[in-house]
Structures are given as structure tokens and as C-alpha cells.
Structure 1
Amino acid sequence: MTFAYLCLFLSLHVIRVRSSEDWCYDILNTCDAHSCGGTQAWKSIEECGGNKQSPINIVTRKTVLDEKLNHIVFHGYDKGHSYALNNTGHSVQLTLTGPNDITISEGGLGGTYLAAQLHFHWGSTSTFGSEHSIDGERYPMELHIVHKKPTGRSAAGSSGEAGSIAVLGFFFEVQTNNNINFDPIIKELPKIQAKDSTVTLNDIILQNLIKDVKTDNYYRYEGSLTTPPCSEVVTWTVFPDPIKIGESQLKEFYTRVYYSSDAIMTDNFRPVQEIGSRTVYRSGVEAILSHSTFVFFSLVVAYFVSAP
């Protein structure tokens, strides 16, 4: 039995993840009896073996237009607040809860959702690191802004009703120049290198972080949290227009932060999951605008043709 085959055997047949707190990404999977097993071992954790798991690969030609997916209303995104930035041991997270409510509504969400936190997923280079992909294309990093219904369970909870959590997913695209809107977060990364370390950021305006994105253009599907317990309670909104970020800024994520004292935090993404019988819908705002424009010009042409 070769060493590589032995590792695979141990990962799939010996290792068992005990709880939703005992898991890791593939980069930390090792060939020993104490290994966490990587993402393959997640299937034994609560809902991680379900049939509505996230992330997925969005095949654009198979998406279905839904004109009910209109403008998303962002409330409080334009206000500056102080938030705690911390190293969770799996990502860099900004806690958004506090006295100032930040919400999203409309956009076919069927209610108002309260912002809970945002976090990032990245790779080990500037080439790939996103969780979702579009037509097989992956991006170097992905931002998730997690919201929950005010009467629902915690966004990190292991149970709840379908649609009790709404997550906005944003891709990143590398450019030469730095994106100054992310400087307040990136310059503090050296202070949260260790797991569970925290620092306070002041006057953070969420709208500035996503200003590159056309928020009327998005995909929508029903899925799960992308980390254990993988609860299948998430309404996903994924925006194809990427946020711009400097290559040197991106590098700070995969060189500054650590899972543990001897393991740098890289490749903290879950592989794409089977979409199964689910449908991915695309927003109808642009289609509605295009139709309205067509109708307008048709009326103009008809007027001049019929004019004496």
C-alpha cells in the first residue's frame, strides 16, 4: 500500500469528526490518527451530508430569469460604525451586531434580515480562493455578509427554518492598485494573527466595501452554511460583478493570519457541492429595464411615424 493511498484510506475510513467544532479545511488534513479529515470528513457533521449544500458552481446558461428578484434595499450600509475584527481560527470575521441595525430587504427575500457578521474565504495565491464559481471560474477571494431574520436563531446555529439566514456573496478581482476601502481591515491583520485574537475597527462603512458591485445583478438559490454545521437554512445571493482589490492587499490575507501557531491560514474554502435538483435564479431587474427601454423607444418611433 503506497503512502498516498494509506493517507486516503485513513481520511475516508478511520477519521471521524466528532462535532461541528471539530473540523478543518483540506490544507490542514494530515496522514495520522489525529487528523481532522479535511472537508471529506464533514459529511458526518449534522447537515453537511445533505442535498442542499453550498457552495455551488453556477452554470449561467441553466439559470432561470425571475423578474420578482428586484432591487435589494440596503439599510444602514451607508453609516459608519465600530466593529470587532477577529481571527475565528477559520477566517477573518467582522462582527456587525450592535445598537445600530443594518438590514437588507426586498429583492425577493420575503422579509427583512439583520446583519450579523461578514467574513472572507481565500486561497494561497492570487489565482483562486473563492467558494462559489461561475461557469467553472473561481476568483481569488470571496466575501460573505451574513444576515438573519430578527426572530431566527443565531447565524452560526445548527438548526432553524429554511430561509432564516440570508448571505450575500461577493467575488474579488485582483488589480494593480490597492482598494483603499479595505485598508482599515487589511492594516489590522497583523494584530489578529493568532486564533481568537480581536481588534476594534472604527468608522467602517459597509457600502464602501461593495461599491464596485452592481447590486441589481445577482443569482439566487437555496443552500447551506459553507462551514459546519452546514445548516440548510440559507437563501444565497451571489453577485457576479467582482470587487477590485490590490494584489499586495490580497497577499496580506494568505501570509498574515494563522489557523494555529504553526499553520498559516490559506485555502479556507469548501469545494463546490452538487446542485442536485435545485434551480439557480437570476435577477430580473436588468431584464425589466431593458424591456422598459424597448417599450419607450417603440413609443417614440410610433409617435414620429404617425406624426403628420
Structure 2
Amino acid sequence: MADSMTEESDYYPGKDDLDWGYQEVGKEPKEGVEWGLLFPDANGEYQSPINLNSREARYDPSLLDVGLTPNYVVCRDCEVINDGHTARIILRSKSVVTGGPLPRDHEYELHEVRFHWGKENQRGSEHTVNFKAFPMELHLIHWNTTLFNSVEEALAKKNGVLIIALFVQIGKEHLGLKAITEVLQDLQYKGKTKIIPCFNPNTLLPDPLLRDYWIYEGSLTTPPCSENVTWILYRYPLTISQLQIEEFRRLRSHLKGAELPEGNDGMLGDNFRPTQPLSDRTVRAAFQ
């Protein structure tokens, strides 16, 4: 795989110096939160995330003609990163997904996993379902290796990027994510990275029999907010423990020793973008 997305490039090489952040919950937007000023794509009509209205989603039985087939393999020497905005797992394995609503015979390779969470359990997910938020949402970010040579090349291109999203609820411990939550204490500050010997992305998918999902066309939910992203959102959430989500909430959004602006506790969380207008898009559902 073209290993072109480095730890610092995030999605947009050369734009590291453009500082962006998230609006604090319950407060007026602060200077610098207006992404559209720095990243014009953020002003587009087909932005993500959105609210999924289950009554308005259109049931499309053709989505079940060909099953969505993830063929993920265990990743050795995965890199886990605190980039100051989120926790990321960079995968080095040839994990792919095909079928379902994707173009026929096209392969999408899993490049990384990102997490979005709230500082409290009643918020945190980027997408909402009937205006209900989950405490966390994770994104499996794929790019089309049939058409493109790198993630950067695939961005903002038709059929270039696929993001499979899963909502996360609080309950029993998630054994597959234990490999990640156990090392988060070593990644407390921005810029910290850790290589973990083994991670199985299959554990992030619901039971293969739970084929219910929504699909729509949107954008990246972080700058540069490029559009032409295909979103597949599973209806059934994953479950992690309260202790596991607390490990994410201990991460910090700043470099070790950095001076923080007044009123900023430096804790990483509430790193979700508000929902965006649906405009004239249709959300399709693989279930009734």
C-alpha cells in the first residue's frame, strides 16, 4: 500500500500550520472554529456529519443484492497516534472491503481508524439518529486502490473514499479495543505515538448477520472537509466499558508543557463536528 499519509500530514500535506479546533459545547463559536474560512470545502452543500432520520431514509432492497464484504486481516505493528484532535490507528495491513453498494470489482483499503467522543456520555458521536447522539463514534477510513495510488489522490474524487462508521454505546468491555485503550495512557499528549504489536480491525465490525446500514454521500468531518465521501453507517452500535471511554477522555489536545489559553483545560474530547444540512441528498437504508 502507498504509505503516504504520515503522522503529521493528517489529510492535507503542507497545511499543518493551519490551526483548527472544535467549538466548546454550550459556548458561542470562538475565533478559529469557522473552518470554512480556512477550508473552502467546509462550505459545501454535501457536508458530513448529518442527522439520520429513520422515517425519511429510503429503503433500498437492492443494497442487499450483493453483501458488503469486509476482508480485514490482523495488523502487525500498528501505530496509534494522539494528533491533538483525535486518537488514530494507522494500519499497515492489506485490509479491504468490497461489494454492497460499492462500485463493482472495486477494492477499498482500510487506511486508518479515528475516534470521536464526548466529555460526557450523552454526546460525542458526529452523526445522530433521530437527533439522538451516542457517547462515541468510530470511523474506518478506506480509499479506492482500484482507481488511485494514494489516499491523497483519492480525496475529493468520485468513488475515492469510503468511511464505515459505527456508533459506540457504554456497557461491557470491548475486548478488541483493549489493545488500544491499554496504551492510551502513553499517548496523553499531542504528538505522542505508540506502536502496538497486534490489532484486529474485524473486532470493530458488528456480527456479519447484522447487515443493517444507512448509506449516503457526504464529506470528511475534519478539515479539509473534502466531499465525494461515501458513508456507510451501521445501525447496531458497538459496546465499550465506561472505563474504556474514560481512557480516551484523559487524552490532551496540546503538547506536553504547552501553555494553555485561559479557560482551556487542554483535555481532548467533544471532538465532534455539529450535524450539517442534508440539502437535497437521500439517505438509503438496507433495512425496513
Sort the TM-score into its range (normalised by shorter chain): 0.7 to 0.9
Q: Pairwise mapping of residues 16-165 of structure 1 onto structure 2 (< 5 A)?
A: 21-27=18-24, 36-38=31-33, 40-70=34-64, 71-77=67-73, 79-96=74-91, 98=92, 100-110=93-103, 111-150=106-145, 151-152=147-148, 154-155=150-151, 159-165=155-161
Question: Which deviations, in whole Å up to 9, do the C-alpha atoms of 1:108-157 show, x marking residues without a partner?
Answer: 11121011111100010122100001111110000000000113365467
- What secondary structure does 1:47 align onto? helix
Paired residues of 1:163 and 1:235 also in contact (CA < 8 A): yes
Of the structure 1 ranges 86-95 and 155-164, higher mean CA displacement relative to structure 2 is found in 155-164
Closer, same or farther: CA 42–273 of 1 in aligned 2, 3 Å = same
Question: Matched residues in 1 for 2:68 and 2:35: separation?
Answer: 36
1:1-308 → structure 2 map (5 Å cutoff): 21-27=18-24, 36-38=31-33, 40-70=34-64, 71-77=67-73, 79-96=74-91, 98=92, 100-110=93-103, 111-150=106-145, 151-152=147-148, 154-155=150-151, 159-175=155-171, 177-211=172-206, 215-261=210-256, 262=260, 263-283=266-286
Q: How many residues get paired?
A: 260
Q: Which secondary structure state, in structure 2, belongs to the residue aligned with residue 62 of structure 1? A: coil
Gaps of 5+ in 2: 1-14, 261-265
SS of residue matched to 1:81: strand
The aligned amino acid for 1:172 is V
Q: Is the 8 A contact 1:90 1:259 kept in 2?
A: no
Q: CA deviation at 1:212?
A: 5.3
> Among the aligned pairs, what percent are the same residue?
28
SS at match of 2:48: coil
- The one-letter code matched in structure 2 to 1:22 is D
Structure 1 spans left out of the alignment, 5+ residues: 1-18, 288-308
2:263 aligned residue: none
Q: Structure 1 residues 196, 213: closer, same or farther in 2, change over 3 A?
A: farther
Structure with greater helix share of residues? 1
Q: State the SS of the aligned residue for 2:244.
A: helix
Q: Is the 8 A contact 1:194 1:259 kept in 2?
A: yes
- Within 2, Cα distance between the matches of 1:24 and 1:158? 25
CA positional deviation for 1:27: 2.8
Does the 8 A contact of 1:29 with 1:36 survive in 2?
Answer: no
- Cα distance change of structure 1 residues 240 and 74 upon mapping to structure 2, 3 Å threshold: same
CA RMSD of aligned residues (A): 2.5
**Which residue type is aligned with residue 25 of structure 1?**
Y
In the TM superposition, what is the alpha-carbon distance from 1:44 to its structure 2 partner? 4.4
Query: 4+ residue runs of structure 1 moved beyond 6 angstroms?
Result: 28-31
